[in-house]
Amino acid sequence: MTATACRDSPQQLMWISLWASRSTSRGSMDRFANGSFRNVIEGFASPTSGMAAPGQSTMHNALHVFMNGTMSSVQGSANDPVFLLHHAFIDSIFERWLRTHQPLRTHYPRSNAPIGHNDGYYMVPFLPLYRNGDYFLSDKALGFEYAYLLDPGQRFVQEYLTPYLEQAQQIWQWLLGAGILGVLIAAIFAAVLIVARRKWKRNQRRKRVPSFGERQPLLQSSSEEGSSSYQTTL
């Protein structure tokens, strides 16, 4: 729901500056800062004006409050299955912002962030060890993509060809066996046709060969009835 609203209004992301260009009188992680993309996506600022909205919950925070129950608890919200779906949409909005502004790693806060969230801090408890700033990059570099962010050609492959390729990978043994069997049947059928054609041509040649032998005897039995002997007169 959140990502759809952002997708329908891409200009909402265009006016937002990089994290480093927030209000000079505020810290980089201050929820009351204006023109802060972080505050907008977290839900501390208006998504239309970028101005801080104290006492209001927008974007990310709004859905947590709306769902209530486990989702409204900071400590336990990750136990709700909706949490994963919600944050997948939030990540897609963040991905659009990254592609729009292409920020450098130096824009990631190195200080004044909540405990454990500065650039140089390690992500706990993940192994091998990575720093927070190591993942300040596009989803493409992490090996996945959002369908609605794909180019038309890539989208065709992703939505239409990929499902069939995935199914083919699951049944490739059967497809290979069927292919081999089909080749054998086709080869046998072709061999039968070739043999039959050769026999037919051979029979046609025999019929066209002229016969030079005598078709009638030299003496007819009827002419021999009147004479008892046959003599040649010189």
Residue 215 has a CB neighbour count (10 Å cut-off) of 5
Q: Fill in the DSSP letter of residue 48.
A: T
pLDDT digits (tens, 9 = 90+) for 166-206: 888 888 888 889 999 999 999 999 999 999 998 888 888 87
In this prediction, residue 26 carries a pLDDT of: 44
* Domains of the chain by residue range: 1-103, 106-137, 171-204
pLDDT digits (tens, 9 = 90+) for 101-116: 888 888 888 888 888 8
In this prediction, residue 226 carries a pLDDT of: 56
CA-wise closest residue to 41 among 18, 71, 21, 61: 61
In this prediction, residue 19 carries a pLDDT of: 40
pTM of the model: 0.55
47 contacts 60 by C-beta, under 8 angstroms: no
The answer on pLDDT for 224 being more than 60 is no
